[in-house]
Amino acid sequence: MSILPALLCLGLSLGQKTCEQNGILPRPTIWAEPGPVIPHGSSVTIWCQGTLDAQEYSLYDEQMNTPLDTQKPLEPRDKAKFFMKDIYAGTYYCKYLSPVGCSEHSDTLELVVTGFYRKPRLSALPSPVVTSGGNVTLQCDSWEGFERFILTKEGEDNISWTLDTQSNLSGQVQALFTVGPINSSHKWTFRCYGYFRKYPNEWSEPSDPLELCISGPIGGSLPPPTGPISTAGLQWPLNMLTGVLVALVLLFSLLLFLLFQHRRQSKGKTSDAAMKDPHPGESIELDPQVRPLLPSRPPMTFLFPSSLQWSLLCPHPPWFSAASTLTCPSEHQVGQLCLKPPTFL
């Protein structure tokens, strides 16, 4: 009975000795597919890539000294894959064994599982429309009381930002991320997650995606300005001020036109009122000062059998009784009294 534990101890020591790290071997590379951030309930494949003479690959959890799984290399024998159906959030690394010993462990892989908490809200301040070459502030907030928010940019670069949360006046927790400079060379789509420091690999559900709209020149980032500071940001207020001034000028012109029309009509009514209605049977005498300016003609007499006929001749005739007579020195003076002079007898 005492020989078996001794043999097991000897085998273990031999196994550890045969897997001593060899500084000549390159470190393996580790990655996850479809990515290191996996929704809860999904599966993931972890790859470990070493050299062509690798004999086997082992996957480790950072908190454990024994391998979680060991796989034979796939052709061309420089890598192996580890399929994980039940995902456990944590930190992983891998090693490989070759005829000359064991490699150093790879860089660590942070495997994150999402969906543990309700999703936060992501918004752009002041709006998702950003001038090319400028910066934008993205706000992530939630009622869950998270201690940290992480902002991720979708795409091949997999950029992320992490900030501690702060309480706002409404009782929510929030974080403000400054992102930039923004250019139009590719899409800028973001999501944010919340988590607690005690469980850094267990995130909330992702926020709804937020895509920025880039305005301005098409292309990469704008070069730094070499001249005076541009006033393009003031263009919108200047356009509004110009529109208001134009509207005021038009309104003032309309008021002047209406005032002119009113005064013109008032002067016309005053001129009509100045002409007194003659009494029946009386004649209209012209101003003596006007008489010398007119050509001298013998006086003419007009018969108006009724006021109805006079109303057809003048727009504002005085009232005459039937068969009244009007004595005028000439047709010109009659034209001043009537728009359409009567037929001379």
Tens digit of pLDDT for each residue in 133-158?
Answer: 999 999 999 999 999 999 999 886 67
The count of other CB atoms within 10 Å of the CB of residue 131 is 16
43-97, pLDDT tens digit by residue?
999 999 999 999 999 999 988 878 999 999 998 889 999 999 887 899 999 999 9
pLDDT band at 237 (very low <50, low <70, confident <90, very high): low
Q: Which two tokens stand for residue 12?
A: 């273990």
pLDDT band at 324 (very low <50, low <70, confident <90, very high): very low
Which is higher by pLDDT, 225 or 91? 91
pTM above 0.85, yes or no: no
Could you give the 3-state DSSP secondary structure of residue 206? coil
pLDDT band at 217 (very low <50, low <70, confident <90, very high): low
> Whose structure tokens read 């501690």?
164
Report yes or no: 317 and 311 within 8 Å, Cβ to Cβ: yes
Kind of pairing between the strands at 109-114 and 37-39: parallel
